[in-house]
């Protein structure tokens, strides 16, 4: 008879067990809350907001024959996915400059690079600014420093996105 009482006491559920289970459940709920909501409750209005941007595409040392192939008002398309990236708002063509070093005279010099130009193209478009801070133009993610295969009406080539800035709405 005493062995039956020992077995009952061994598996008895008491208030300490309830408190321990309650602490475990609250801890797991807190961890899940922080994991899924990232502590940013109430910041949903900032997620995926639409903003107007201007971004600059640059290419250096391209053949001079390409001067004037991209003009204000031309549409820009990502050649690798066909995403419309915006409209050209400004173009800048400058002569490429070669920087060299004259080891005999120990001087650095600059000369025009014959037959080569540098191109800067500014493009404007509406973009979705995600909570990660990245800009998405018609589904295409833009980041500074990114190399993009672009297509204009009279030119297709590889350019670097050198800057992105938001345009304030008036």
Tokens 């133009």 found at: 137
Going residue by residue through the chain, which has 170 residues, state the pLDDT in tens, using 9 for 90 and above: 555 555 555 667 788 888 888 999 999 988 888 777 654 444 444 567 889 999 999 999 999 988 889 999 999 999 888 889 999 999 999 999 988 898 999 999 899 989 999 999 999 999 999 888 889 998 899 999 999 999 999 988 899 999 999 988 65
* pLDDT computed for residue 170 by the predictor: 59
* pLDDT computed for residue 87 by the predictor: 95
* pLDDT computed for residue 123 by the predictor: 95
Would you say the C-alpha torsion 84, 85, 89, 94 has a positive or negative sign? negative
* 15 SS3 class: helix
Give the burial class of 102: count Cβ atoms within 10 A of its Cβ; 0-12 exposed, 13-18 middle, 19 or more buried.
exposed
Domain definitions of the chain by residue range = 2-37, 46-167
| Total residues belonging to the chain | 170
* pLDDT computed for residue 44 by the predictor: 47
Q: Which two tokens stand for residue 126?
A: 């509406």
Contact between 38 and 116 under an 8 Å Cβ cutoff? The reply is no
């Amino acid at each position: 008879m005493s062995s039956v009482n020992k077995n009952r006491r061994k598996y008895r559920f008491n208030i300490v067990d309830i408190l321990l289970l309650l602490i475990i459940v609250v801890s797991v709920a807190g961890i899940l809350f922080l994991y899924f909501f990232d502590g940013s409750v109430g910041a949903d209005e900032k997620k995926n907001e639409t903003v107007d941007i201007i971004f600059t595409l640059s290419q250096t040392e391209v053949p001079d024959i390409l001067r004037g192939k991209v003009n204000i008002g031309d549409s820009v398309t990502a050649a690798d996915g066909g995403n419309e990236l915006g409209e050209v708002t400004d173009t800048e063509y400058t002569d490429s400059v070669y920087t060299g070093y004259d080891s005999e005279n120990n001087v650095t010099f600059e000369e025009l690079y014959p037959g080569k130009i540098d191109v800067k193209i500014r493009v404007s478009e509406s973009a979705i600014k995600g909570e990660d801070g990245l800009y998405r133009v018609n589904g295409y993610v833009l980041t500074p420093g990114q190399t993009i295969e672009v297509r204009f009406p009279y030119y297709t080539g590889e350019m670097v996105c050198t800057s992105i800035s938001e345009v304030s709405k008036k």
